[in-house]
A = this chain, B = another copy of it.
Amino acid sequence: MKRTKTAIEGMSRRALFANTGKGAVLAGLAGAAAGPAALLGVTTGVATGGAKLARASEGVATVAPGQLDEYYGIWSSGQCGEVRLFGVPSMRELMRIPVFNIDSATGWGITNESRKILTEGLTPETKKFLESRGGIWQNGDAHHPHMSFTDGTYDGRYIWINDKANTRVARIRCDIMKTDKIIEIPNASDIHGLRPQKYPKTKYIFANGEHRTPLPNDGRDLDKPENYHAIFTALDGEEMKVAWQVIVDGNLDNCDADYQGRYAFSTCYNSEEAVNLEGMMSKDTDWAVIFDTKRIEEGLAAGDYTEMKGVPVFDGRHGSKYTRYVPIPNSPHGINTAPDGHHVVVNGKLSPTVSVLDVRKFADLFDDKIQPRDVVVAEPELGLGPLHTAFDGKGNCFTTLFIDSQVAKWNIDKAIAKFNGEEVDPILEKIDVHYQPGHNHTSMGETKDADGQWLVSLNKFSKDRFLNVGPLKPENDQLIHIGDGGMTIVHDGPTYAEPHDCIIVRADVLNPRTNYADLPNPPYQDIRDLMASKGVDYLSAEDVIREGNKVYVFMHSYAPNFSLEQFTVEEGDEVTIAITNIDDVDDLTHGFTLANYGMVMEIPPQGTASVTFTADRPGVHWYYCQWFCHALHMEMRGRMLVKPKGV
């Protein structure tokens, strides 16, 4: 393939001629043909005006030492593979939750308990593939964190997040803020968009398989793109099993669900079903695809599906009774349901427009009483590169404009009026953000309790906004106050790759535990069962049990002591070490690091953690507590003595 020139030119052409619902119009895309930097949308340092910064000096985003934030921010980390908890409005990172990554601090990916979670949901093919690669994935690409709903608002039980890199969905339990389930999605390739059902109570997690691949992807149809398919998946979020899947046309991008509990919908780009950039941009229209979960459940009962890898798969391509395809201009990206319960905003990406759908029209569409485009009730032109839209719960929307490096505030009712021919400008205000915003989110904005206080713009480039830290720059999460009806940037928040998406949750929604005592469905059940089967009480354990070449070392910890200050094994033994932290002082996590053996674990208050390894390195090896616990923390240690073979 020859490089880029035609593709870049292709984009220029497309960007210059962007569609609206009423047909192709010239978008007046200033600078779009001015060369690569302009096409990147990398602006060169537009300063926010002094007036906009006034609020920062008024202290709106300041949370004084010792004061608590009013909201939890739940941040994805993109290709970092973790989830981050923030405080809003301070924008302080409060915690990292290991999910798809390997975490040196907690031993996530190393402990028996984490490795079980990381492997139990893999397909047999992937398990086999990973056999010679350490047994687990070492990377993930975590995009969209979303919380469980009851009656259209967050209920504080779970957070789900996708992994685009290795086709997984993970769940975090909010009582202990730890990942408790991860499953690989069969048949699909590379999970992207993810959203939970909002009503009546989250049952389904909708997950988009972005890329089109052969089905099954086992070597057949290698270069026959016409036989490739993208797959939409509904998980049972409680069971963490696939409920059903739907084959669709095009590539799936983002998704959302309605407030009535019936429909889910996804954006689709590459309706051309091409396999290169030029092909993907050859048509001016793509679509949003709508899924009727009630019809699908009826189809499930009627057996109207094909089973693939143990999962019922529906054919939802054009003509299916389970789906409808609504034409949308130019590679739509984000799709967001408004808190009014009726409107869905589809963001045009390569079109300067967003398309507003009315869910009250979907039943007629599925009954073929109206045409697909009849569900579009507004299509305002906002600016260049609309990607995602957030809501204030007062009828207003905030849409990120990637190429313009702006956020546009606009009003749904005015947009509908304009669509119906009235002379009205739906755009209320625009502000510059720094730079190239992707996802955005408002406080409680994807729930019926959207409160219109705060807006976060997750910007993909920070460039000159922070001290220079080398070729790799942080992203810039900007906090924008919207509580007074305007938009005022009050905080620049640098973050490591990549705060792809976030949600902002009122603090009272979450109430995590402070220790693991009497925890339901504990991650340590297996190891405690094993201890019990050998007659060991986990609370007072100080036992070394040998069974052939397997050695079980059971301890408890109590600051600043491990109950065993030494133990002896033989070279080649398979050693399992399990430790229960019997401390229950708030914040008193212990750790266990076995030096020069690569073993590390977090041991939460009243929890148990374990590792298993082969003792194939003779000598004296110290283990120590790596989570600071006491004035004598450094002295909290012991020795593993490994006798050489044949001695």
Q: Report the stretch among A242-250, A306-314, A421-429, A626-634 that lies at the interface.
A: A626-634
Residue from B79, B110, B176, B468 within 8 A of A104 (CB atoms):
B79
Name the 8 nearest CB pairs between A and B, nearest first.
A219-B618, A219-B644, A177-B470, A470-B512, A81-B104, A217-B619, A104-B139, A460-B628
Interface flag for A305 (CB, 8 Å): no
Residues of B with C-beta under 8 A to A465: 65-66
Interface flag for A327 (CB, 8 Å): no
In the assembled complex, the Cα of A126 lies from the Cα of B619 at a distance in Å of 13
Which residues of chain A in 69-96 are interfacial with respect to chain B, using CB atoms and an 8 Å cutoff? 69, 72, 77-82, 85, 87, 92-96
Residues of B with C-beta under 8 A to A478: 65
Q: Which residue of B lies closest to A560 (CB)?
A: B277
| Most chain B beta-carbon contacts within 10 A, residue among A56, A138, A463 | A138
Interface flag for A545 (CB, 8 Å): no
Indicate if the CB atoms of B563 and A190 lie closer than 8 Å.
no
A interface residues, how many (CB within 8 angstroms): 187
Residues of B with C-beta under 8 A to A587: 42, 461-463, 473
Supposing A269-B634, A595-B190 touch, asked if A602 and B222 sit within 8 A by C-beta, the answer is no
In the assembled complex, the Cα of A41 lies from the Cα of B177 at a distance in Å of 26
Supposing A4-B558, A218-B644, A631-B403 touch, asked if A598 and B166 sit within 8 A by C-beta, the answer is yes
B-contact bits for A604-622, CB 8 A (1 contact / 0 none)? 1101000000101111111
Interface flag for A189 (CB, 8 Å): yes
In the assembled complex, the Cα of A101 lies from the Cα of B101 at a distance in Å of 10
- When all copies of this chain in the complex are counted, the total is 2
Indicate if the CB atoms of A65 and B490 lie closer than 8 Å.
yes
Indicate if the CB atoms of A165 and B57 lie closer than 8 Å.
no
Interface flag for A363 (CB, 8 Å): no
Interface flag for A383 (CB, 8 Å): no
Indicate if the CB atoms of A105 and B79 lie closer than 8 Å.
yes
Indicate if the CB atoms of A96 and B496 lie closer than 8 Å.
yes
Indicate if the CB atoms of A79 and B620 lie closer than 8 Å.
no
Indicate if the CB atoms of B631 and A93 lie closer than 8 Å.
no
Indicate if the CB atoms of A65 and B56 lie closer than 8 Å.
yes
Indicate if the CB atoms of B514 and A471 lie closer than 8 Å.
yes
B-contact bits for A490-534, CB 8 A (1 contact / 0 none)? 111111111000000001001111111000000000000000000
Q: Report the stretch among A146-154, A197-205, A447-455, A635-643 that lies at the interface.
A: A635-643
Residues of B with C-beta under 8 A to A269: 634-635
Q: Which residue of B lies closest to A402 (CB)?
A: B631
